[in-house]
Amino acid sequence: MFSRSLNHNKLWLIVGWIVLGSFGSLSADEFRWKFAPEDRFAVVLTQASETQSVCETIKRISGNEIRLEIDWKVRTVENDLAVIEQTIQRVQIRLSTPTVDGSNVVEIDTAANDETKPKKGVEQKVFKDLSTLVGITATLSMNTRGEISRVIVAEEDLQKLRQAGSTTPLLNLMTADGMSELFRSSCFVFPEETLTTGSEWTNRRTTNGPFGELITKELYRFEGEIDRDGRKRQQFTLATTADKLPTIPPDANPVDPPPELREISSNGTFWFDSGSGLFTESTTTSILKSRKSFRDLLIHTTITSSSTLTMERR
């Protein structure tokens, strides 16, 4: 269950700006995070998804949500590279599965006390897995553009995860790729080029998953300075579309072929505080539509996902 709640994760981290003129011209060199030794950041990342499957007149809806409370502490800063200690302090999940009478909802919080924590069944196993993450420190190397290049976890902490029976997704989370993918849906790496209000840039990604090879285009745009809750913020937007959808292999089983991805898209808004050099908030939503044939039946599935992130200096 936990792995499903992380599968829709995406992401990278972000940057800052400075006004050079009345028309909002910006220097790429100044679109950077600002780090100093002993800086502390409180990070809250929430990701949720709802899956709706329809087969003829039958509809099934399930959902999940995961919320992470994370502490960042900057240890050293050299040139453009910061070494950050990251500690997951709390994990909360909510799982909703369909039943004959409606739905079954399971909520698990690693901050639960002895009286309220799960004591049996799958809930106890998931609680144990998630609790293993709490308190383990990963050391990240991140440059001022937001690129995570290295993640180090002490071998004794990795051994704790293995001994606790933690699943592969939990172990993969403690890698540079895993950590970058976790934040990918909430942040991004800034380009090196000079940006002005209205500047756009594009990234293309190729991924291989259950549907096959997927190529997507991510279009970013700097919208300029706005007032957000009485504070000046620099706003960026993202629109993601499919450049190439996977195709069903010609040798697929005609009776039970793999699912076919029909549509994928996402949109996001990101806010940056140029004064403190800190990415403060983001929200993204995405939609994935697929269909699957099984004998004479056709199953249509729509997955709607969302991700929000907040960050502030402690």
pLDDT tens-digit series, residues 121-144: 888 888 888 888 888 888 989 998
The secondary structure element, H or E, covering residue 254 is: none
Nearest to 262 by CA among 239, 295, 283, 293: 293
Rounded distance between C-alpha atoms, residue 133 and residue 42, angstroms? 17
Q: 3-class SS at 105?
A: strand
Q: What's residue 174's pLDDT? A: 65
Domain ranges for the chain, please list them.
Answer: 2-313
Average pLDDT of span 249-263? 84
CA end-to-end span of the chain: 32
**289 alpha carbon, distance to own chain's centre:** 19
**2-313: what CATH class?**
mainly beta
Residue 245: count of CB within 10 angstroms of its CB: 17
> Could you give the dihedral angle defined by the CA atoms of residues 283, 72, 66 and 129, in that order, rounded to the nearest 10 degrees?
160
Phi, psi of 6 (to 5 degrees): -105, -10
Residue 13 pLDDT greater than 70, yes or no: no
Q: Which two tokens stand for residue 196?
A: 């002005």
Average pLDDT along the chain: 82
pLDDT tens-digit series, residues 170-199: 566 666 667 667 666 678 888 888 888 999
pLDDT tens-digit series, residues 226-253: 999 899 999 999 999 999 998 888 887 8
Q: What's residue 216's pLDDT? A: 92
